[in-house]
Structure 1
Amino acid sequence: MSLAHATTLAPTVVRSTAPAASAPAPSTQQGRNLRAVPEGTEARGFVLYVGIDDAKAAAAGTSLGAIVHALKALAADLAPESETYAAVALAPQGAGGRDVDVVRLALQDPSALARHREADTEEELDRAHAGVVIDISRKRLILDNDSVGLTYKEFELLQYLVLREGRTIDRAELISSLWKAGDDDAPNERTIDVHVRRLRAKLGRYEDIVRTVRGVGYRFDRHADVSIRHAAAHSPDFI
């Protein structure tokens, strides 16, 4: 997603010259929901990001300008001494991504910018990494810089083995862990091999990272050319 830019809505800027009143101290409950303010600073306002494009606003029977004016009027009604400033985030037509993320990037939100740079870095790593990338955090498999279209169950099967690296998983455990009782597509211990074969076929020349342990089940064997990107959660086998 390309970085968007913002344009201000000058007619909607409303300012008051009256001095700002001191804000009352938040209640204990409110304090739990607010980010801590560093010592020596004070809260002077807030930012509300609204993600919606012209088409969605029109479908709802309104417009971006009308929404802006309504929100500004609400702020003035709740706190007449408040000052407001509005801006519209612009992006190239057809740009992907959630509307609210485009807005945050356009307005230089620090956390959004950090994630944007991180995503760019990951894409560069993908292009530079020949071999296998098993991205648990983003639910994807990349072989020699090309994304592989795994089904949901195929990735779940691969992930289950990867998170238990070095341990042989029997067929009964795979079935009970990855399928719910009564599922129409639930395999039995004989047909689980079919699911594994389909996964291996998509792994191509790296199929042996899913190894068969005769008479027992399957095991993930990491190679030197295999890279795993873990999600925040650890393997359920390790507490």
Structure 2
Amino acid sequence: MLPEQTQPLQPLPVQQRARAAAPAQESPARVRIRAVPNGTRARGFALYVGFDEDKADAAGTDLGHVVEALKRLAAEIAPGSETYAAVALAPESAGGRDIDVVRLALQDPAAVARHRQDDDQEQDRAAGVIVDISRKRLLLDNDPVGLTYKEFELLQYLVLREGRTIERAELISSLWRAGEDDVPNERTIDVHIRRLRSKLGRYEDIVRTVRGVGYRFDRHADVTIRHAGAPSPDLF
């Protein structure tokens, strides 16, 4: 009896060999997105790229090619995703890191908040007068001045109408309600102005008396006005 003959093993196709040799890939673990409050869900994200035209040219590419490559990558790894590219423009003199300039130019909330904080700190270090309408405070050479509520209202009213002479009657009718116990007359309004000017110290002449008419705010080079985010309710 002839011995049983076995068929020689046929080599697997290249693709099958690669699949057989490669270990089973686990699906990537889901990455939790931080700073997503309860009751909301992420609908997308913004990726800021700090890369100016000179750096792109040195790398042998340009911004347009980088944008298109990123769009293709997004379509490949996240089918169905939508993309939108915005170019960040900034003055040539803008210093700092590219990524910080880009975030600020595109109004990234965190970058805008930090810029405002840095700007406030820089202004606070400057000597002179700061009339901070947004916070209802007055600083003289970085020191807060203890104005009363009415004194600040009086200063604010003049500041918001810079360069215009305000008659005494207008100040009274705009800042005091009829029937209030301390409503001044056109003579006693001068007392309120005199108290305000005394607290302005060496800067008292920013509130100028126009003889026979009323008062006017004159800005000096060392006076800074910080306006509120929305218009003041008494500014029309």
Using structure 2 for the length normalisation, give the TM-score. 0.51
Letter in 1 for 2:197: R
Distance 1:35 1:169 in 2: 51
Letter in 1 for 2:146: G
1:124 deviation in Å?
3.8
Question: The residue matched to 2:221 in structure 1 has which SS?
Answer: coil
Which of 198, 223, 237 is the matching residue for 2:220? Answer: 223
Letter in 2 for 1:123: Q
Correspondences of 1:128-147 after superposition (within 5 Å): 129-147=126-144
In structure 2, do the counterparts of structure 1 residues 180 and 35 end up closer, same or farther at CA, with 3 Å as the change threshold?
Answer: farther
Aligned position for 1:152: 149
Correspondences of 1:176-187 after superposition (within 5 Å): 176-187=173-184
In structure 2, do the counterparts of structure 1 residues 36 and 139 end up closer, same or farther at CA, with 3 Å as the change threshold?
Answer: farther
1:238 deviation in Å?
7.0
Matched, 1:126 2:124: yes
Distance 2:208 2:147 in 1: 18
Correspondences of 1:1-239 after superposition (within 5 Å): 38=43, 41=44, 115=113, 118-119=116-117, 121-127=119-125, 129-234=126-231
Distance 2:209 2:219 in 1: 14
Computing the radius of gyration from Cα coordinates, the structure with the larger value is 2
1:116 deviation in Å?
6.7
Q: Give the conservation status (yes or no) of the 8 Å contact 2:160–2:235.
A: no
Percent of aligned positions with the same letter in both sequences? 74
In structure 2, do the counterparts of structure 1 residues 121 and 184 end up closer, same or farther at CA, with 3 Å as the change threshold?
Answer: same
List runs of 5+ in structure 2 lacking aligned partners.
1-38, 46-107
Question: The residue matched to 1:133 in structure 2 has which SS?
Answer: strand
Q: Give the conservation status (yes or no) of the 8 Å contact 2:164–2:216.
A: yes
Distance 2:41 2:154 in 1: 42
Letter in 2 for 1:118: R
Cα deviations by residue, 1:32-87 (Å, 9 ceiling, x for unpaired) = xx99975xx49xxxxxxxxxxxxxxxxxxxxxxxxxxxxxxxxxxxxxxxxxxxxx
1:118 deviation in Å?
3.5
1:233 deviation in Å?
3.0
Letter in 2 for 1:151: T
Cα deviations by residue, 1:90-127 (Å, 9 ceiling, x for unpaired) = xxxxxxxxxxxxxxxxxxxx968964773454134202
Q: Using CA pairs below 8 Å that are at least 6 residues apart, which structure has the higher relative contact order? A: 1
Using structure 1 for the length normalisation, give the TM-score. 0.50
